[in-house]
Amino acid sequence: MSINIPIRLTTLAGSAGCAAKMGPQNLAQVVSPLKHAGVPQDLLVGLDAIDDAAVYRVNAEQAVISTADFFPPVVDDPYSYGAIAAANAVSDIYAMGGKVLMAINLVAWPDDLDPAILSEVLRGGADIVAQAGGAIAGGHTIIDNEPKYGLSVTGMVHPDHILTKGGAQPGDILILSKPLGTGLLTTAQKRNKVTEEDIQAAIASMTRLNLKASEALVAAGKGVHAATDVTGFGIMGHAREMALQSLTNMSFDLNAFPLLQNVRHYAELGCIPGGAQRNKAFLESHVSIAEGIDPIDQAILWDPQTSGGLFAAVDQDTWSQLANLGPEVPFWRIGHVTDQVATEAEVVLEVR
């Protein structure tokens, strides 16, 4: 198919991918009034808990998972943009331990941008949903000056096997299923500073589904105490959400973080996403960073991820099992849960 792309897609976006998310401080403020609404008994996961998706119990053996995610172009290639946005959206289903059933396209598109480009975006999204075992069942489009694409996704999970952010316990091993650095790399592309090899490595990571990682966590059973996926709030933002839900402190080894290739180089070039600055402003007072850690290395702590990996707290026996699954289902040990605390105000993340 010959497509007229008169401009790089990322130049049409104010922020790339999940870096466009509203900052955690503002988000907490705007949703706060909604938490006082009545909650049906069968709504197992809703606004009362900071989690990745809503879960509604249908019967004793079935619960529906519902989530939505969309964002502006994160890469210039239309097909890859659609695939990344779809992988990012279905990841919320996997973070809850569920399976994907169907998805609805969510589109905002400039009326002066070739519709064939949008067709490629939708094709990329549809291919990922099919790979996830689901189907595109419809969609909604509006005209907007900035392109945006994503999905509303429906999944299914057993009510007794839901993975949530709460439940991490002292002594748990903290693990991650994908390397970090997508925010830095996609910002480097937006500024025309990234190599083709490096951005293709980032695209490969962002389009890799969290399906196998989720299946491994579900199969591990009760040894998995908490789980989430790492997206726009960065590794520290999503770790703090888990720590708050679990009322625990956590310690991280920065040298153990898996990174996409040449991430540090792009941090040195100043390719810091706006979302990273918002994350840092909100989180740095809650994170204790050991003296001597280079500010360049610290950039990865706040880097907003797009279609990042699953982050989980598991017991030692479960980690021993997951560590031996091989390269098809990679997990990295990046820290541990230190101790229980009595209140959210006492929660601290330590990075050494």
3-state secondary structure of 308: coil
Average pLDDT per block of 10 residues along the chain, 352 residues long: 68 68 69 71 88 96 98 95 98 98 98 95 99 98 96 98 97 99 95 96 98 98 98 96 98 98 97 93 95 94 97 98 95 98 96 97
pLDDT of residue 37: 64
Instruction: Pull the structure tokens for residue 185.
Output: 């790399």
3-state secondary structure of 76: coil
Q: Is residue 141 part of an annotated ligand binding site?
A: yes
Domains of the chain: 9-161 (3.30.1330.10), 173-351 (3.90.650.10)
pLDDT of residue 50: 79
Q: Is residue 50 part of an annotated ligand binding site?
A: yes
Q: Is residue 220 part of an annotated ligand binding site?
A: no
Catalytic residues: 18
pTM of the predicted model as reported, rounded to 2 decimal places = 0.93
CB 240 within 8 A of CB 218: no
The number of residues in the chain equals 352
Q: For 57, phi and psi rounded to 5 degrees?
A: -75, 125
Report the relative pairing of strands 99-109 and 148-157 from DSSP bridges.
Answer: antiparallel
Report the relative pairing of strands 248-252 and 332-340 from DSSP bridges.
Answer: antiparallel
Question: For 29-58, b where at least 16 C-beta lie within 10 A, e where not — what string?
Answer: eeeeeeeeeeeeeeebbbeebbbbbbbbbe
Beta bridge partners of 57: 63
Q: Is residue 172 part of an annotated ligand binding site?
A: no
- The residue whose two tokens read 């949008």 is 118
Give how far Cα 175 sits from Cα of 57, 164, 292, Å. 29, 15, 24
pLDDT of residue 48: 79
Q: Alpha-carbon distance 298 to 255, whole Å?
A: 11
Q: Name the nearest CA neighbour of 76 among 10, 125, 124, 5.
A: 10
Q: Is residue 198 part of an annotated ligand binding site?
A: no
- The residue whose two tokens read 């994160």 is 74
Question: For 182-217, b where at least 16 C-beta lie within 10 A, e where not — what string?
Answer: bbbbbbbbbeeebeeebbebbbebbbbbbbbbbebb
Q: For 309, phi and psi rounded to 5 degrees?
A: -85, 180
Q: Is residue 139 part of an annotated ligand binding site?
A: yes
Q: Alpha-carbon distance 234 to 232, whole Å?
A: 5
Instruction: Pull the structure tokens for residue 35.
Output: 């938490």
Question: For 136-166, b where at least 16 C-beta lie within 10 A, e where not — what string?
Answer: beeeeeeeeeebbbbbbbbbebebeebbbbb
Q: What is the pLDDT of residues 293-342, one digit of tens each?
A: 999 999 999 999 999 999 999 999 999 999 999 999 999 999 999 999 99
Q: Which helix (H) or strand (E) holds 153?
A: strand 148-157
Give how far Cα 249 sits from Cα of 211, 293, 350, Å. 28, 20, 8
pLDDT of residue 5: 64
Q: Is residue 92 part of an annotated ligand binding site?
A: yes
**Burial label, 343 (beta-carbon count in 10 A; 0-12, 13-18, 19+):** exposed
